[in-house]
């Protein structure tokens, strides 16, 4: 029986990861790291109210078998450049480093399609830098998810994303061959794939959007 560490349990993908972990009998304990205390009535779950400005304080708690990192933000929600970098780059890198130092065996990360450390845009650059850090640390198993446009029921209303959903539903059938990785993907599909990679004999480390979908067909 395994212990899972989950960052981002209240988010679009992380919420589905939490549901899958609860339902999966391979896990006896799920540590969820949250900013504010929440009440979840499940014997598997340990809620850890986390000071993300001082992750070293939680080093002894970031121990287990597998880590699932699903935290992310937007420029709209984090308009301050330093705060945006902290959430998208500094925190995920530090969590991975602490997890590795505590002998966590597997690490799973929600990145983005076209992530690239040399990108001119902060979002794709930060995702690429985090990917490089995770790959360099030498976890026994790695699952880096590179989804395209993510579908799902977000708590906040985002007009641009509502429009994006409509556009991608029209365009998805046109994305064939090398363009398949541009197809939109549901948040639950990403979560299901992460759990499958964690529990199956899969050596691949980076998964584009179409490969994520193929895993759970």
Q: 16: part of which helix (H) or strand (E)? A: helix 12-23
Domains of the chain, CATH where assigned:
2-215 (3.40.50.720)
Give Cα 198 distance to the centre of its chain: 13
Is the pLDDT at 203 greater than 80, yes or no? yes
| DSSP secondary structure code for residue 107 in this structure | E
Provide the total of helices (H) and of strands (E) in the chain, helices listed first: 7, 9
Give Cα 145 distance to the centre of its chain: 7
- Rounded to two decimals, the pTM is 0.88
Q: Which residue in 127, 142, 134, 126 sits closest to 207, CA to CA?
A: 142
For residue 144, the cross-strand partners are 109, 206
C-alpha span between 121 and 134 (Å, rounded): 20
pLDDT digits (tens, 9 = 90+) for 98-154: 999 999 999 999 999 899 999 999 999 999 999 999 999 999 999 999 998 788 665
pLDDT digits (tens, 9 = 90+) for 22-80: 999 999 999 999 988 788 889 999 999 999 999 999 999 999 999 999 998 877 777 88
């Amino acid at each position: 029986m395994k212990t899972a560490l989950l960052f981002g349990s209240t988010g679009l993908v992380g919420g589905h990861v939490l549901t899958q972990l609860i339902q999966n009998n391979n896990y006896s304990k799920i540590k969820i790291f949250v900013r504010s205390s929440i009440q979840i009535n499940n014997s598997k779950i340990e809620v850890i109210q986390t000071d993300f400005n001082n992750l070293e304080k939680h080093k002894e708690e970031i121990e287990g078998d597998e880590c699932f990192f699903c935290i992310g933000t937007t420029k709209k929600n984090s308009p301050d450049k330093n705060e945006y970098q902290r959430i998208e780059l500094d925190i995920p890198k530090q969590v991975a480093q602490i997890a590795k130092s505590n002998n966590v065996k597997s690490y799973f990360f929600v990145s983005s399609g076209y992530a690239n450390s040399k990108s001119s845009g902060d979002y794709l650059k930060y995702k690429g830098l985090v990917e490089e850090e995770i790959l360099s640390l030498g976890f026994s198993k790695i699952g880096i998810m590179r989804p395209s446009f993510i579908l799902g029921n977000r708590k906040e209303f985002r007009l641009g994303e509502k429009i994006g959903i409509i556009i991608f539903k029209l365009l998805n059938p046109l994305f064939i061959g090398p363009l398949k990785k541009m197809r939109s993907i549901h948040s639950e599909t990403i979560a299901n794939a992460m759990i499958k990679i964690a529990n199956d004999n899969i050596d691949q480390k980076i998964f584009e959007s179409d490969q994520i979908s193929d895993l759970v067909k």
